Structure 1
């Protein structure tokens, strides 16, 4: 479902923790997650140098960040199962963290891969009940 400009503005203005909750709810509901891709996935760095794999709940939010160092990157979706069973374990193994819902003005939230996996699995279970 495409969001209109007002909906995008409203969500982008939320504090990082509320955007994280929005991310978990929407990814669990839609069954997909968005990243930015161009010859590889968009990565950022935390202040301590840890690499961050940027993720968004919907295409429109990823598109907002396809500028500056990510100029020329395009939003690309992949499935929730791929995130839970493939990407998050790989991030854990490689020492990277997920970067949840960056905006042009905020680095978003950077939970451990394990915490994000538990939060998403809990939300999926909650929706099934």
Structure 2
């Protein structure tokens, strides 16, 4: 079971730039063995850039839930086990030609990665901490 984040932890993490949030996400995902997305009755939430359709991912429930407001207030945070991510999601996202936006903050700022690149970074993090 993952520990609940304090308000101070959340505030400090959200103040990081996109690269540091990505580093934080890799460590949290590998340590907790889960990735968080937002879903509704039609599937997972998508963000769009000029070039890419993206699935946003977060390292912890609290960060995903922060996005469940406004047009997404009907959404709920859902975790995906890391081994399920590796075995199903990476290939599925590639097949659907979707990218990943990693840990977007409330200003929609987040790194955009291709699924295979994200998958390799998570595996590299696991080897580093394993």
Q: TM exceeds 0.5?
A: yes
Moved over 6 A (4+): none
CA deviation map 1:19-65 (0-9, x unaligned): 011111110111001011111111110122x2111110000000111
Quote the Cα distance in structure 2 between the aligned partners of 1:106 and 1:10: 17
Quote the Cα distance in structure 1 between the aligned partners of 2:50 and 2:70: 18
Are 2:103 and 1:106 aligned? no
SS at match of 2:113: coil
What count of residue pairs does the alignment treat as equivalent? 127
Quote the Cα distance in structure 1 between the aligned partners of 2:30 and 2:115: 16
Indicate the RMSD between aligned Cα atoms, in angstroms: 1.0
TM-score normalised by the chain length of structure 1 = 0.93
SS at match of 2:26: helix
5 Å-filtered alignment, 1:23-102, equals 23-39=25-41, 40-48=43-51, 50-102=52-104
Q: Is the 8 A contact 1:16 1:106 kept in 2?
A: no
Unpaired stretches in structure 2, ≥5 consecutive residues: none
CA deviation map 1:47-88 (0-9, x unaligned): 22x211111000000011112232211111110011111111
TM-score normalised by the chain length of structure 2 = 0.93
Unpaired stretches in structure 1, ≥5 consecutive residues: none
Quote the Cα distance in structure 1 between the aligned partners of 2:85 and 2:11: 26
Quote the Cα distance in structure 2 between the aligned partners of 1:74 and 1:92: 24
